[in-house]
Structure 1
Amino acid sequence: MGNKRVLVTGGAGFIGSHLCKRLLAEGQHVVCLDNYFTGSESNISSLLSNPCFELVRHDVTVPYYFEVDEIYNLACPASPVHYQYDSIHTIKTSVLGMINALDLACHLRAKVLQASTSEVYGDPLVHPQREDYWGNVNPIGIRSCYDEGKRCAETLCFDYFRRHDVDVKVIRIFNTYGPNMHSKDGRVVSNFIVQALKGEDITIYGDGRQTRSFCYVDDLVAGMISMMQTEKGFIGPVNLGNPGEFTILDLAEKVIGLTRSVSKIVFKTLPLDDPKQRQPNISRATRRLGWVPEICLAEGLERTIDYFKKVLV
């Protein structure tokens, strides 16, 4: 397992920074590629003194070349606030970024793992979501730049395998949370925690009965690394998420309780195409990777709250 050179695109982002840290701890040499659109050097500042860590500022829509054994392709804004800011560049990041990663993997005969998303299922008509479900996605909505960009990236992975025998792996990430989340990324966990710590109203969009499943970032990273280690030919896709299902109102009440906040809950209009249910079926991950998430929501929220207490001062 040790002594590999591993490229992590989006490595200074929320999930990427945790992945870089874990790979270094396992003895890998890590090349972190990021353009800092949503990532931050502060997320990986503790890694900069490690001689096995390289940091490169670069946009994945532009081809790049590094001698590596494995590529984790995480580069893409992943929250609606950020991916809708420049929707065309979001599509380019998903599609051109995937092509550039696959071309490099093809040239080097390297493994490449694509961080896809549960958003490929859209507003699902099947619950919980299994990997063989094709989804219910609006191709022309305000979320489409992300949803369809990631769907196209999956298509590219399978076509590069069929056409060029590239060793590809596809995971679909469900809601993930933990330290290094951006305080203004518009995601529900970070939104609620920041609002609660500041004593502001906690804003719920819709009636709060829509559901989500929340996976702590350390569990996700363990699943990603396990997927990368699977045999060639096993592409996936594989759902990675915590199957525990909570309503948004449940989450808000948990955050208020854990922060001992005086915040009040207020309700606003639900955005267009916002999915009403999101819960992964993880039987494939459990069967093929031996993976199950271990950190419960209360414990993960406490760790995340501690992080935001430090960065918000």
Structure 2
Amino acid sequence: MPHPQTRSDGVTDHSKFLVTGGAGFIGSHLVDALLARGEPVVVLDDLSTGRMENLSRARRHGRFRFVHGSVLDAPLVDELVSGCDRIVHLAAAVGVKLIVEQPLKSFTVNTKGTETVIEAAHRHSRPVLIASTSEIYGKNSSGPLTETSDRILGSPSVSRWSYSTAKAVDEILAELYRREYGLNSTIVRFFNTVGPRQSPAYGMVIPRFARQAVRGEPLTVYGTGQQQRCFLHVNDVVAALLSLIDRPESQGETFNIGSDEEISILDLAARVIGSAKSTSTLQRVPYSAAYGPGFEDMERRVPDTTKLRAFTGWRPQRNLDDVLADAVADARREERMVVAGPCPA
């Protein structure tokens, strides 16, 4: 349920949310859901990976405001935080491809940006939900990973682990601010979220497979293809976020958000081809060709979401077939737009 607040004049207001990275894939879906509940929303996004078209529905809403800017801009972040009641910090440099190609920029945005948001949230006594990642666990390929599972990382010289380290710094900052200053923070770790509006540009496997399949191109499988992953529909992710936002007792806690429906990347490629009714074939690509020499991956990454389920009663409502059907439909829409070309002025 929304968080109505009653003013001294008897008029009921809703909490105003600041969503950093709100023009991104997950962020824009959360913004739509908050607006649908009657919550006013301010989005801060520099559009480096987010897209204004993701907010086409939100921009028609009277309770919505978009601010083009960066979480590295401390005065701007402070101003926006002071004018909102609750903060959802989703802004980050994401995607394996982006992290490998721009490791320093990614590290800086993820650590300094989060520090800026946390400092402002503390200064103005605002609760903040902070997005983290399954990359926290590094190369830990053991059974379903709980929130307290060990982090196993490779050499600091490997760019991929700089992202894991940056997000760990984010989590540590939130925890230390909570312990020492009483910051009301909740941390969520996303495991392979998929759905409409997700770009394949930054290494996300299902959008890439879906676009290759609808074009009849070979699906490029990196590495052996035996690596196991789980994929959760973005609508189920948003439902999980709302369930935590609505529970003040979630503050001070960390939660995995993901699916436990496990599949190998080779089998995933075959399922995408089937879902798209495509004639595409498979093409193996070494990691070194895709990401450069020295790239490291993990064989298995499966979340344990027992804590989230027990805490909120949340359950995923969509299975992998639903995820793939939406991904293929989204890829077909994009192809139609490309064929049609830009609208006449």
Match of residue 168 from structure 1? 185
> Which residue of 43, 46, 49 maps to 1:38?
49
Post-superposition offset of 1:137: 1.6
Shift of 1:234: 3.8
Q: 2:268 aligns with which of 245, 251, 254?
A: 251
Matches within 5 A, 1:1-313: 1-2=2-3, 3-63=14-74, 64=77, 65-66=79-80, 67-138=83-154, 139-232=156-249, 234-270=251-287, 272-313=295-336
SS in structure 1 at match of 2:287: coil
Report the Cα offset of residue 30 of structure 1. Answer: 0.5
Q: Which runs of 4+ in 1 moved over 4 A?
A: none
1:88 Cα deviation from its structure 2 partner:
1.4
Q: What is the distance in 1 between the residues matched to 2:47 and 2:57? A: 17
Q: Tell me, what secondary structure is at the counterpart of 1:246?
A: strand
Segments of 5+ residues of structure 1 without an aligned counterpart are none
What is the CA deviation profile of residues 93-117 of structure 1, one whole-angstrom value per residue up to 9, with x for unaligned ones? 1111111111121122111011100
Structure 2 residue identity aligned to 1:85: E
CA apart distance, 1:10: 0.5
State how far apart, in whole Å, the 2-side matches of 1:212 and 1:235 are: 28
CA distance in 1, matches of 2:144, 2:248: 27
Question: Structure 1: how far apart are the matches of 2:335 and 2:198?
Answer: 12
Q: Deviations over 1:264-290 (max 9, x none)?
A: 001111351212111000100111121
- One-letter amino acid of the structure 2 residue matched with residue 89 of structure 1: K
Q: How far is 1:77 from its partner? A: 2.2
Aligned length: 313
Shift of residue 140, structure 1, vs aligned partner: 3.0
Report if aligned partners of 2:244, 2:250 keep a CA contact under 8 Å in 1: no
- Residue 113 of structure 1 aligns to a residue in which SS? strand
Specify the code of the residue in structure 2 equivalent to 1:31. V
SS in 2 for 1:48: helix
Contact persistence 1:219–1:294 (CA under 8 A) = yes
| Runs of at least 5 residues in structure 2 that lack an aligned partner in the other structure | 4-13, 289-294, 337-345
Q: Give 3-state SS (helix, strand or coil) of 2:328's partner.
A: helix
Deviations 1:173-227 (A, max 9, x none): 0001000011322211011001101111101112211100000000001111212
Specify the SS of the correspondent of 2:248: coil
For 1:286, the aligned partner's letter is R
Instruction: Tell me, in whole angstroms, the C-alpha distance in 1 between the residues paired with 2:141 and 2:31.
Output: 36
Taking structure 2 as the reference length, the TM-score comes to: 0.88
Q: CA RMSD, aligned part only?
A: 1.3
If you compute each CA radius of gyration, which structure gives the higher value, 1 or 2?
Answer: 2
